[in-house]
Amino acid sequence: MQYRTLGRTGVQVSTLVLGAMNFGRIGRTTQDEATAIVDAALEAGINLIDTADWYSDGESEEMVGKAIAGRREDIVLATKATMPMSDERNHQGSSRRWLVTELDNSLRRLGVDHIDLYQIHRWDPRTSDEETLSALTDLQRAGKIRYFGSSTFPAYRIVQAQWAARDNYLSRYVTEQPGYSILQRGIETHVLPVTEQYGLGVLVWSPLASGWLSGAIRAGQEITTNRSASLPQRFDTAIASNRAKLDAVGQLAEVADQAGLTMIQLALGFVTAHPAVTSAIIGPRTLDHVHSQLAAAGTVLSADVLDAIDAIVAPGTDLAPHEKFDTPPALLDPALRRR
């Protein structure tokens, strides 16, 4: 396992991160299975575990807490807040009122007294940067969190938050967690240049593109992955963007074969090769998944392989731009772009 410095924090983290989104109801993973996955990850040298309050309505945090009991100090623990936790309108977002309350809930579920990296899961357009950063700074000073970061923020919001922290003498976001894969490279155009400019650590999610780059999907074969069952529209090959992904996967498989790599090694080696990326988050649902993904630790792609990837999916290109989660709200809601 390789290790890199997380932004400007001085904290050393593994280049692969264990993501716990599939722990609990979402991935139908039991506590015993989750603990076995955590054990395998830690044994392989992973030292950062990432979860969120929203994953299976807090069940993921509870499972992570039980799995790491007795070895907390060796783990860089990250979680997130802002996604809706109930139908109550104020049980979501990044207001001071909610973050103070929900952090305590996460600490209780995880069974710990502090979070190493507390992340704002999505930008909340209803709440000012000053409000959110002030609350996070106070929680940091209280010792409940060590650092805080953002997740899936548009580039201009990352910049605005940095300016707000500077202008109001507040602590700033030290990390960003964007989606990134060979098939979704849009952040190379806008987000990654900004994170490099401000010295943010970058923890990328979905490096296997929801399973498209796992090696389990091939042209002419029925797609039967777990994710295709829960998000069928993202795998329906009658849709043009999915046909483009399927074509790219076929070409990428040839590149991987010629280089003597698995598709997982190709996918993870690609995202961790970018100089702006600190680590890639893997989200295994089974012990077999975690072992196949851990096998990619330390994969370094040659310039020839990276050039071949660029020829298949051009730098800065999203093959499915409509699947992005950092689209400015005005592009999704007509009311926000009309007087």
Catalytic residues: 55
Interhelix angle 59-67/31-43, rounded to 10 degrees, is 50
Q: What is the CA radius of gyration of the chain?
A: 19
Distance between CA atoms of 68 and 294, rounded to whole angstroms? Answer: 19
Distance between CA atoms of 255 and 252, rounded to whole angstroms? Answer: 5
Q: Which of 172, 152, 169 is nearest to 160 (CA)?
A: 172
Give residue 47's region: left, alpha or beta (phi > 0; psi -120 to 50): alpha
User: For residues 317 and 289, is the Cβ–Cβ distance under 8 A?
Assistant: no
Q: Which two tokens stand for residue 17?
A: 């991160």
Distance between CA atoms of 122 and 154, rounded to whole angstroms? Answer: 10
Give residue 298's region: left, alpha or beta (phi > 0; psi -120 to 50): left
Cross-strand bridge partners of residue 144: none
